[in-house]
Amino acid sequence: MRKTPMPLPMPLKHSFPPVAAADARVLVLGSLPGDRSLAAQRYYAHPQNQFWQLMGPVVGVDLVAMTYDDRLAALRARGVALWDVVGSARRPGSSDAAIVDIAGNDIAGLVARLPRLRAIAFNGGTALKQGLKLLGADHKGPAIVPLPSSSPLHTIGLAAKQPAWSQLTAFLLDPPGSRA
């Protein structure tokens, strides 16, 4: 009798540390970095991911033309923080639909450490679904902003995605009469 080999377990994939300054006003949460991003150890490293193109108009800077470190510095300087809702999980490839064995990041803890935070934006449906679970049903904090995924797997096109992403700009501005 011939034995069928046992499939190897999928390796555990881990998200990156948050990129956040204490004065952040918008927190953009993805799901879990894809394989290209994990290999490069950089947020949104896949060349077809539209994140940097979508965020450039939000912060008023051509992020695509910058080095990775300058991109992160520009986001921090303009009040944008980045992280992922999934701290670790197993997933073949990069599709959010294949994520299993999820352990969430401490999103509520990060939100509590950002006193000027005005919005939590979720980059795609998986990030939104998992993020709302982590924040809890009684979340009364910053506004929740669902966004179309910047992933190349979400094929509606940059022009169709940009209006939703551009609404983040309003959360970065000082409210009228404020002394920020």
Name the H helices within the chain.
35-40, 51-59, 68-77, 107-112, 125-135, 158-166, 168-172
Position 45: which residue type?
A
Which one is catalytic: 49, 50, 94, 126? Answer: 49
- Which residues lie below 8 Å from residue 170, measured CB to CB, with a gap of 6+? none
Instruction: Clarify whether 105 is annotated catalytic.
Output: no
**In whole angstroms, what is the distance from residue 83 CA to residue 87 CA?**
9
Task: Give me the active site residues, please.
Answer: 49
